Structure 1
């Protein structure tokens, strides 16, 4: 295996028809199949087969299990899912089609990892506080589709955020775009 890079994105919403109406400025497609193919093309133009692709929630929405599986298998990379609200059923359980996909690691609600020597806290939802916040850790999230600005070294990595280019980004890019300022005041003990 060659050099492995890590890539980060959220809110693919494969098969989710309503996304075309909710975000016409970033998803100007005539169908979900066109949207899904644009996401796959964007990912595959950046991510290599052995790279790690972190998907920070809302992988797919819909009942066409075969389409969800096709989208998953069409994406390059070793895929890891941070669970989002559309990845679970009404009881909070991972949807069977999502659970059955061959993820590189079991899907989780949040994850602490490192990239470029920087500690990362990954979650679908934005947090005001996270592990390592006052020690340089960066928090990446999705869910808000670009409507929630980054705060204190956090940022939205959803596909609908303008500077994401409708695809995943690496830590080099992310580090250049997160707010550098960490709120002052009494630090939270970690």
Structure 2
């Protein structure tokens, strides 16, 4: 039996060519971006590991649905989604995202425990969260590093300098935070 690890990541924006100009993502084109993210993901995540993706998994959800399914199928781990704004269409989960074989139903919020700590997960930063006053943590995405965490909260987006386009563990993400 293998040891199961948990990882966290947000804002992969697979197939979102404009993200390269909007964020500091050092790739020549979206294909090299996507291939790098898949390689980095599979470098650390094993087939049985758990990955909490905190939203904005992909873009071009209708036009490139087959390619999104292909990318998803190549990513190791049992994947859970806290959906983000780019995972929705008219306020509902986009059919392409909903049709992916997530390990559980995508939700706006998720709750987990890691390293004996309670963690609140969402795409959007919360200024207050469950267990905040009792040592709980909050991981979020969406802000692309423009909204610093407060207390025991932090952005886990792929484009943060300490994330480097790679899913990270709780210990990696909380290092240096009291």
**1:53 match: secondary structure:** strand
Q: 1:59 maps to which residue?
A: 57
Query: Which one has a bigger Cα radius of gyration?
Result: 1
**In structure 2, what is the Cα distance between the partners aligned to 1:136 and 1:18?**
38
Q: Which residue matches 2:36? A: 38
CA distance in 1, matches of 2:171, 2:37: 21
Which residue matches 1:18?
18
What displacement does 1:177 show? 4.0
Deviations 1:4-30 (A, max 9, x none): 00000000000001101011x3x1212
Divergent runs of 4+, >6 A: none
Q: Indicate the residue corresponding to 2:91 in structure 1.
A: 92
Paired position in structure 2 for 1:8:
8
Aligned-partner Cα distance in 1 for 2:31–2:4: 29
Partner of 2:48: 50
Structure 1 residues not aligned, in runs of 5+ = 181-190
Q: 2:136 corresponds to which residue?
A: 137
Report 1:61-80 matches (<5 A): 61-62=59-60, 63-80=63-80
Query: Over aligned residue pairs, what C-alpha RMSD do you find?
Result: 0.9
1:173 aligns with 2:139: no
Partner of 1:151: 150
Mean CA deviation greater in 30-39 or 8-17? 30-39
TM-score with structure 1 setting the length: 0.90
Structure 2 length-normalised TM:
0.96
SS at match of 1:70: helix
The Cα offsets for residues 37-73 of structure 1, whole Å up to 9 and x where unpaired, read as 0000000000000000110000000120111011101
For this pair of structures, how many residues does the alignment match? 176
Structure 2 stretches lacking a partner, 5+ long: none
